[in-house]
Amino acid sequence: MSLYGVGYNKVEFTDVPAWAEGYVTFLAARGITRGTGQGIYGSGNKIKRADFVTLLARIAGADLSRYTVEFDDVDPDAYYAGAVGWAAEAGITTGTGGNRFSPDNGITRQDMAVMIRRFADAMGCELPKINDWIRFADQQEISSYAVDAVAALQQAGIIDGRPGADDSEKFFAPGDGATRAEVAKILTVLIKGMLQ
């Protein structure tokens, strides 16, 4: 597996906010992420579980033709089927229960943290500890299966909290979805950290 392809082709979109431009460009230039058509990236669109594992598979450089999918709700002919099969075989996902993957559901922040942590493990990369651990204001809302992954990603500087009303505390918002722009930042930070 490789972290991403060698090629570099600058791609520009018209709807990317300034804070996310560098991250989207980094991924798009390497063929990891794509727009939604006509020069649009879809920055504010929530990312689906199927698309998230597809991004991870592209980062890994996985040959998706080698993988089949066992989940009942994943069409073997779907564009993401190989990526889901790869992610399941690599231990990155176990689905959402009942032999389902729920490909069209938006990925939650806590599930994204779990998948990224498992992805790093599958790639043989140890996440750095560059930040002190913080207790989020909504720490008790993070599901037990995700607590360690959230802590690891927060300490690695990959996922941060969201400020509260008075900026005195941070919330993780574990059940919230993530936009395509937010995911571009998270995955760019992940890749750069893994390459150090």
**How confident is the model over 146-170, as a mean pLDDT?**
89
Q: Rounded mean pLDDT of the chain?
A: 90
pLDDT digits (tens, 9 = 90+) for 38-60: 888 989 999 999 999 999 999 99
187, 160 in Cβ contact below 8 A? Answer: no
Kindly state whether residue 103 falls inside one of the protein's structural domains: yes
Domain shared by 112 and 160, yes or no: yes
Kindly state whether residue 113 falls inside one of the protein's structural domains: yes
On the 0-12 / 13-18 / 19+ scale of CB atoms within 10 A, 124 is exposed
pLDDT digits (tens, 9 = 90+) for 95-114: 999 999 999 999 999 999 99
Domain shared by 136 and 146, yes or no: yes
Kindly state whether residue 120 falls inside one of the protein's structural domains: yes
The token pair at 53 is: 């594992």
What is the CB-side half-sphere exposure of residue 160 using CA atoms within 13 A?
Answer: 10
Q: How many domains are there within the chain?
A: 2
Kindly state whether residue 146 falls inside one of the protein's structural domains: yes
Kindly state whether residue 75 falls inside one of the protein's structural domains: yes
Domain shared by 87 and 124, yes or no: no
Kindly state whether residue 1 falls inside one of the protein's structural domains: no
- Give the global pTM: 0.90
**How confident is the model over 4-12, as a mean pLDDT?**
59
Domain shared by 145 and 88, yes or no: no
Higher model confidence: residue 69 or residue 5? 69
Kindly state whether residue 190 falls inside one of the protein's structural domains: no
Domain shared by 83 and 121, yes or no: no
pLDDT exceeds 70 at position 9: no
**Which residues constitute the domain of residue 99?**
48-107
Kindly state whether residue 26 falls inside one of the protein's structural domains: no
